[in-house]
Structure 1
Amino acid sequence: MASDTDSARSRLPARHPRRARGFHRLAHNEPVKDPEALHALLTPEGRALLDEVRGTDPARELAVATRLRRTHPPDLVSAALGQARLRQRAVAKFGARDAARMFFTPDGVEQSTRASVAAHRAGRLAALGVRSVADLCCGIGGDAIALARAGIRVLAVDRDPVTVAAARANARELGLDALIEVREADVTEVGTGGCDAVFVDPARRGGRPGGGRIFAPEAYSPPLSWAVEAARTAPRAAALKLAPGIPHEVVPEGAEAEWISDGGEVKEAVLWFGTEPGTVRATLLPGPRTLLSRRLPDPPVRPPGRYLYEPDGAVIRAHLVAEAAEEVGGGLLDPTIAYVTSDALVTTEYATAYEITDRMPFNLKKLKALLRERGIGTLTVKKRGSAIEPEELRRKVRPQGPNAATVFLTRVAGAPTVLLGHPATL
């Protein structure tokens, strides 16, 4: 990077020595780190720059920055390019239309709820008759936006000034500022008595930017125990957003626990208060499709049948594999692994069905020979209960040929096993 910077600096006109001194910082195109920098992007000059750099290819950022800094303040150019990059990343969560108008921080993009999941939660609160919500630890405002679009008035609170500035800007840019009040404060010191409901999304990363994930609920900021007490005092309802890996043992008495996936990817767990105490559910988006716990015993273990069913991740996290197995009349390949097997192909919304064509004890040499015999060049690798990694397997078997298949690395009654098959259709 230093050589690129030195080269770019040598091409700058001699009449701009002051800007040249700041160029190394600009070359990194860092996103805004203080409210003033974000406010600068909201000025006419900042907005014009954002329009100009929209969709910039990362490979061209250095050249674009070099050109723009000749007529604009270097820090503003850097902030605009950093913001453009964040907006590109945010499309996956917020959609292209909203992401192009919103303002983000790096942690805000990383930690925000996907819009479809936030809309599902907001819809549930609206259906409970909630008309006002205290959104505690609001971040850049993704959940507040969903709540406001559901017709709910929002008090959005966060203690980070840059995050608060972004949340205010986002409410204004999306035309929702009449419904969203953003307040900079410590959520533990904010009174929520004027709101029907409480929504809490505790920070689950280290204190410094880009910090690692925190898995212990009492290490969240604020701790889970505080969030639960805040939820219990809400007049009508409350929802606490948690990591999907939260142990079932920490679900407090009287709460409903919901695990949510979107497009097959598990996104979060939610503890609900004021709904159905003790209920456990898996919700699959789009839909929603909801599987409720019936507290069934574990499915029986049986030999592999013609079909293998892979339950959705939310079903697995919610411990509802037995409910999914009952739907297809199946049993487990192994008592410790969430693969369901059956001789019947049954339509289910909660698992993906595969037709199994081959079964063998785990043996790389024999698997490689089988793939070569079948002309398998496109290989999808799935694993549960196996130590070998998918990329390692592909590297060792070197699939070649015109056909496609799915290989499952798993255990059958405790024995390492390979199952080969393909997605099944009725």
Structure 2
Amino acid sequence: MEHAELDALLTPEAMTLLDGLDPVQTTNDVARVVTRLRAAGHGPELVSAVVGQSRLRHRAAAKFGEFAGRMLFTRAGLEQATRMSVSAHHAGRFARAGLRRVADLGCGIGGDSLALAALGLDVLAVDADEVTAALAAYNLRPFGDAVEVRHGIAETTALDGVDAVWLDPARRTTGHSETRRVRADDYSPSLDWAFELASRIPAGIKLGPAHDRDALPEGSEAQWISVDGSTVELVVWTGTLARDGVGRAALVIRGGSAHELTAPADTPDEPVRELGAFLHEPEGSIIRARLIGDVARSLGAGPVAEQIAYLTGDADARSPFATTFRVRETLPADPKPLARALRERGIGTLEIKKRGVDIDPAEFRKKLKLSGTEKATLFVTRIGARRTAILADRLE
């Protein structure tokens, strides 16, 4: 989004048009709405800004729910924003720690600041991009004087009167639409600066879930987060925001429920077991936090092989930290005999999962030429030195 589009959008006329539009979801919707608005005499910049925002609001509903219909976005800002279900948990941690004023350094479109302000905290929201800061100011306007939005960089922001900071270093190139990931050494602000600040003031630092564990600051709490099956982020907590005795944490959010597993450090794995009646797939945050051993012990299970994060056992046990499947049988992992076996069983709908083997599930599926009315899950993995296919049924 350029300044001209922002100027066109932040007008009473544009906001009235935007709020009056039906959802714009498809390219046909875009063509229809653009034609109607242009025919009504609205200029091309105004129409482009309004229709673009309507599409972004529709996409944003997955992250922001009902809030999306009252917010403004850039494409990049929406992609990089924290989901509301996650930011609410972060904000709750600041509130429980008794912190009253938080600096959100790298606030983006204001999603995390929104969650903080919604819990009654005062917020200083700062972003290095002028357009993004303007959108954050719009999105946070309902909170009045409780939120101050500034266009500026984290490193030079005065933190007088601030009790804690939330840092979301830019992990992609600058821009409002197409961006690409950068190396950890190129984050802005730099991680050296962020970690040094976090050693002096309570902080939460949002990082990618695959961030190098050996590069995390000593004495901090590392919390990995999964949402509806996807591992979305790692947060490093310091000072009073880090919980006593917790070095590793995995937060699992599914639908309207949340569960967390914590430990002082990585937990030891269980011994490898022969394939049993059940297969358990731990959540990604559990794997990243290296808490698989605790989940295995709670399920009476163990890994199917060394360095493979599938657990197996004979007990019909369930955990919020893993998805459980009932094993049907093992089958040849070679596509030709496997395809024949699946046809014999009438399986036409197949979920394919893999670990420890170099296959592309989409390409592998094409080779199977599925047909039939039955459905199942296929695990392709390594057990010992052998590639193995495990046919199973997902248990709800």
Same fold (TM over 0.5): yes
Cα distance between partner residues in 2 of 1:94 and 1:204: 21
Cα distance between partner residues in 2 of 1:288 and 1:58: 36
1:75 to 39, 45, 49: 45
2:171 to 193, 197, 204: 204
What is the TM-score when the length of structure 1 is the normalising length? 0.87
Give runs of aligned pairs for residues 356-395 of structure 1, distance below 5 A: 356-395=327-366
1:118 to 73, 87, 91: 87
Q: 1:139-165: per-residue Cα shift (whole Å, max 9, x none)? A: 010000000011111000011110011
- The answer to whether structure 1 residue 404 and structure 2 residue 375 are counterparts is yes
Cα distance between partner residues in 1 of 2:60 and 2:144: 21
Secondary structure of the structure 2 residue equivalent to 1:130: coil
Cα distance between partner residues in 2 of 1:296 and 1:51: 51
Cα distance between partner residues in 1 of 2:207 and 2:267: 25
Secondary structure of the structure 2 residue equivalent to 1:288: strand
Cα distance between partner residues in 2 of 1:103 and 1:304: 51
Contact 1:259 1:314 in 2 (8 A): yes
- The answer to whether structure 1 residue 107 and structure 2 residue 81 are counterparts is no
Q: Specify every segment of 5 or more residues in structure 1 that has no aligned partner in the other structure, as ranges.
A: 1-31
Contact 2:76 2:179 in 1 (8 A): no
Indicate the residue corresponding to 2:226 in structure 1: 261
Secondary structure of the structure 2 residue equivalent to 1:252: coil
- The answer to whether structure 1 residue 191 and structure 2 residue 158 are counterparts is yes
Secondary structure of the structure 2 residue equivalent to 1:338: coil
Cα distance between partner residues in 2 of 1:391 and 1:73: 45
Cα distance between partner residues in 2 of 1:251 and 1:176: 34
Q: 1:69-110: per-residue Cα shift (whole Å, max 9, x none)? A: 241121111111111111111111101x21111000111111
Indicate the residue corresponding to 2:252 in structure 1: 284
Give runs of aligned pairs for residues 227-238 of structure 1, distance below 5 A: 227-234=194-201, 237-238=202-203
2:208 to 243, 246, 260: 243
What is the TM-score when the length of structure 2 is the normalising length? 0.94
Give runs of aligned pairs for residues 26-425 of structure 1, distance below 5 A: 32-34=1-3, 37-56=5-24, 57-70=26-39, 71-95=41-65, 97-172=66-141, 175-209=142-176, 210-214=178-182, 216-234=183-201, 237-274=202-239, 275-276=242-243, 279-286=247-254, 287-293=257-263, 295-424=266-395
Cα distance between partner residues in 2 of 1:352 and 1:400: 26
Contact 1:361 1:415 in 2 (8 A): no
What is the identity, as a one-letter code, of the residue corresponding to 1:76?
Answer: L
Q: Report which stretch shifted further, 216-225 or 411-420.
A: 216-225
What is the identity, as a one-letter code, of the residue corresponding to 1:205?
Answer: R
Closer, same or farther: CA 161–54 of 1 in aligned 2, 3 Å: farther
Cα distance between partner residues in 2 of 1:44 and 1:248: 49
Cα distance between partner residues in 1 of 2:287 and 2:18: 43
Contact 1:303 1:412 in 2 (8 A): no
Cα distance between partner residues in 1 of 2:267 and 2:174: 41
Deviation at 1:208, TM superposition (A): 4.3
Cα distance between partner residues in 1 of 2:112 and 2:174: 21
Deviation at 1:338, TM superposition (A): 0.4
What is the identity, as a one-letter code, of the residue corresponding to 1:299?
Answer: E
Q: 1:254-296: per-residue Cα shift (whole Å, max 9, x none)? A: 1100001112211110000122366101011143311113643
Contact 1:405 1:420 in 2 (8 A): yes
Deviation at 1:39, TM superposition (A): 4.0
Contact 2:267 2:290 in 1 (8 A): no
Contact 2:277 2:327 in 1 (8 A): yes
Cα distance between partner residues in 2 of 1:304 and 1:359: 9
| Identity over aligned pairs, percent | 44
Cα distance between partner residues in 2 of 1:85 and 1:347: 40
Cα distance between partner residues in 2 of 1:261 and 1:208: 27
Q: Report which stretch shifted further, 224-233 or 151-160.
A: 224-233
Deviation at 1:362, TM superposition (A): 1.5
Cα distance between partner residues in 1 of 2:50 and 2:321: 43
Secondary structure of the structure 1 residue equivalent to 2:134: helix
Indicate the residue corresponding to 1:3 in structure 2: none
Cα distance between partner residues in 1 of 2:329 and 2:20: 55
Q: 1:308-355: per-residue Cα shift (whole Å, max 9, x none)? A: 100001101111111111111211111111001111111211101101
Q: Specify every segment of 5 or more residues in structure 2 that has no aligned partner in the other structure, as ranges.
A: none
Contact 1:334 1:414 in 2 (8 A): no
Cα distance between partner residues in 1 of 2:120 and 2:7: 28
Deviation at 1:402, TM superposition (A): 1.3
Cα distance between partner residues in 1 of 2:215 and 2:371: 48
Over the aligned positions, Cα root-mean-square deviation in angstroms equals 1.6
Cα distance between partner residues in 1 of 2:186 and 2:10: 36
